Amino acid sequence: MRISVVGTGYVGLVTGACLAEIGHEVVCTDSDTEKIKTLESGGIPIYEPGLENVIPKARKLNRLSFRVNAVEAVSAGDAIFICVGTPPLPNGDADLSAIDHVARLIATESTSPKLVVEKSTVPARTGQELKRALSVYARRSSVTFHVASNPEFLREGTAVEDFLHPDRIVVGVESESAERQLKEIYQPVLDRKFNCPVHLKSCPDGPAPQWLVTTINSAELIKHASNSFLALKISYANMVADLAEKLGADIDEVVRAMGLDPRIGRSFLSAGLGFGGFCLPKDLQAFVHLAERSGVDFGMLREAEKINKQRIDRCIEKLRGALWVLRGKQIAVLGLAFKPNTDDIRFAPAIDLVNRLLSEGAHVRAYDPQAMERSRATLSQIEYAHSANDAARDADALLIATEWDEFRALDWPRIRDVMARPLVIDGRNLLSPAEMRKLGFEYRAFGRPD
């Protein structure tokens, strides 16, 4: 099928590239012309494992192109995936102005029938507004539009794999033709009939994804309810971790046993600095606002948000407990990205932590395997190290803020020797407390007995 993708952020770029990978002809556009020019010239503006294989391959096969001209891009597809940003407004609601703008563009420029697929994360009932906007903006046109919601469940860092091997594909539709077209689009994924890109080591042969057809309102709700539930799980683990610490229990032992119950599951119960990124925090806020406006009490999710915000305070308390005064102290921070395998620092706990350290008068030298270039643009008051070792040099304390695998495998005895004081605050419970203490570190983590 011919598909247009509007918006080439994390979601749009992965969606466009993977739709081309499974055989469709895809044209992507973005209001950020610099980004499109980078893509046109063979660059990839974000670090997302797998894109470096999928994008060049699809371009070579002439299945993926990038256009600055949005009208051309939108006209090219029979289906248009809207992947534009829905950032939070000051009151926490999602800003839907980019979706409205794309609706106007599609309505006024289309000359053939279009399936308009809402992929951006939006509050329930946005699809109804989108339908209304399309018919208002296209009142002088005879083109037919079908609207569908197709929420994404892509995790940054594994987004290509998640797209090609999802556990479910949710389509919210109101017409048989929309359902049929979406089925046609996803058929290769449902049948697992495409050549697995080389980088996907696992390329699971597991069960085919579930195909779930719902109403548009339900599809939108599924997305917000899923992300908010993940946030709730993380905050629950952090709340229990705080108690475990007071009682001398070990959160790792607790969640391991809890997770063996299939009704609970082990994932998203890792305690530490909490959740960040451009999805969980903003989706949680938008969901709470949506509920409040609908007269439903979502206090439970407000608590989850509150617990998450307190993680930075907890970390600073631990640091102050060990260092007494933070002013003038040299702190090494390992990790700036909001999670490993990405260069995304949006709403990253690490960035909040660094800002808190700076406001306390500490000196920060940070290292991240991928996110330093992005950080430099927003955080100019800190030093950037070229390795973890370099960050640790003469430091009074070292904070682990992102759970990059490479931090597990560092030469810790060497790090100990270059630090002014061998104090590690492990904000992601990444390392073994026993081993770190054996190596002579003062080691503190979250929910683990000191």
By beta-carbon proximity to ligand UGA, the closer residue of 166 and 433 is: 166
Phi and psi, residue 190, nearest 5°: -65, -40
Among 75, 110, 121, 149, binds ligand UGA (CB under 6 A): 121
Q: Is 268 in the site for ligand UGA (CB under 6 A)?
A: yes
Least distance from ligand UGA to the Cβ atom of residue 274, Å: 5
Among 7, 45, 85, 276, binds ligand UGA (CB under 6 A): 276
Q: Which of 28, 83, 279, 315 is catalytic?
A: 279
Q: Which of residues 322-341 bind ligand UGA (CB under 6 A)?
A: 338-339
Among 6, 79, 130, 154, binds ligand UGA (CB under 6 A): 154
Tokens of 56: 């060049």
Least distance from ligand UGA to the Cβ atom of residue 222, Å: 11
Q: Is 229 in the site for ligand UGA (CB under 6 A)?
A: no
Least distance from ligand UGA to the Cβ atom of residue 16, Å: 15
Q: Is 269 in the site for ligand UGA (CB under 6 A)?
A: yes
Among 75, 150, 270, 330, binds ligand UGA (CB under 6 A): 270
- Which range touches ligand UGA (CB under 6 A), out of 82-90, 264-272, 288-296, 391-399? 264-272
Among 234, 319, 391, 423, binds ligand UGA (CB under 6 A): 234
- For residue 83, indicate whether it is catalytic: no
Q: Is 124 in the site for ligand UGA (CB under 6 A)?
A: no
Torsion angle in degrees (nearest 10) through CA of 171, 176, 178, 184? 80
Q: Which of residues 58-97 bind ligand UGA (CB under 6 A)?
A: none
400 neighbors 407 (Cβ within 8 angstroms): yes
Considering only CA atoms, which of 135, 115, 120, 126 is closest in space to residue 180?
115
Binding footprint of ligand UGA on the chain (CB under 6 A): 121, 152-156, 227, 230, 234, 268-270, 272, 274-277, 279-280, 338-339
What are the catalytic residues?
279
